[in-house]
Amino acid sequence: MLSSFLILVAPLLLTTPAAAAPQLIKLDAQQNVEVVCNAAAPAVTTTVYIERPASTEPALQVSAQESAEVSAASSSVAQSAALTVSSASSSALPIATSGPTGIASTNRTSGGLRNALYFTNWGIYGADYQPDRLPAENITHVLYSFADIGSDGEVHSSDTYADLEKHYPGDSWSETGNNAYGCVKQLFMLKKKHRHLKTLLSIGGWTYSSKIAPVAATAAGRRKFCSSAVHLMKDWGFDGLDIDWEYPADAEQAQHFVLLLQTCRQALDDYAKLHAPGYHFLITIATSAGAKHYSQLNFTGMDPFLDAWHLMAYDFAGSWDNTTGHQSNILINSQNPAATKFSAEQAVKDYIDYGVPPNKIVLGIPLYGRAFEATTGIGQPYTGIGPETVMYKDLPLPGAQEFYDDVAMASYSFDSKKGELITYDTVSSAVAKSKYLLQRGLGGAVYWEASGDKTGATSLVGTVAGQVGRLDRSLNNLKYPISKYENIKAGLP
């Protein structure tokens, strides 16, 4: 998911706001933004047929240590499904509609919204961002990134020192037995202190995504992937899995993704049945906001096995473009189309039209900016990208002023002397996104990544938490009776 960015998406038909002269507003960090929407235009009903091959996925086997066999995976998927969707040609944002609930019901969230945060295991080095800096009161889920995948499908640690070996203050060097240290122990300690905080093992990401396709293509690979992922989850004391596959390339890989999710859902459910009765372990995915990629997905096949779709609604603009642009705008600005070639709203609308319940869509917000050099403004030609990416905590740079595009619902900074423009989210755009996701009935927000945020009143994570007002407070799991790490197994007494 981030390190990546050199992927963007083909243009698609975009819903644009009603033509109105855009307002460019110089803003203060504390300035609030009102989002006003007009009445929706009449909808046009369309029927979309989605081919879904039957599943013949064999049963998943759990290790002998757990003395269990997983029952056969879910019954065969229907051969085809007719999906009726509404396509509104209006500048207004549609009101949230209800959607079907899947096997992994989102009603397991205590009625609150998600405020999920990606935390990278490499962030403990250069950024010196340690687990105890996570804003636990303002977040609901930590997505620990990233686990690697072997050629046989085995999911494993990508950095054993960061994950399991680093000793933090208070850690003993003389404990007997096999104990977990590193970020794994620190995250478990946070879970004990903040019972609403759930941790998920994120697998793949841009660096390791290419390894997923060949593994997902075979039943043996899927079984190995899911059984090893569940083993890591229970050994590390986590609450679920997050799969970041960038990206399934065609219908065949999309169907393999369905089968992979089905296999992992079954593995989690069977582990819970044996060792955490009544607890629901989570499965989420990171998913593209670009039609070139998400148009490949089998939405109706995937959704029953997912608790949330983490929509990567950023990287809409960057070094691959001919002009500067907003990298994470909500709407299209028809008065400056070069600056808003894509939009989060178009992706949200399409996902809902494909059958994803709005409350399973979690809006991605970047904690970094994308830079352009030698330019005269937003939507204009540029030469060079300078630092290319800059952490939000370091913005605006000295000499730059922040601006807010109230049509696109997006912010940027501009240094007129240097001709340097950086597109990123600010408190004002975070307020606007909070209002947007509430109006749309979305499931919350998710951020890439933790080390980029500011603290205090200018924190984007904290801003959204304060604006939405009601976060998920469902309990995490603290019982891992067959963890191979004695301190996790004992619950870190």
Catalogue the active-site residues.
Answer: 246
Torsion over CA: 99, 103, 107, 113 (sign): negative
Angle, vertex CA 365, rays to CA 183 and CA 166, nearest 5: 10
Token pair in block for residue 442: 């979305």
Residue showing tokens 């597109």: 423
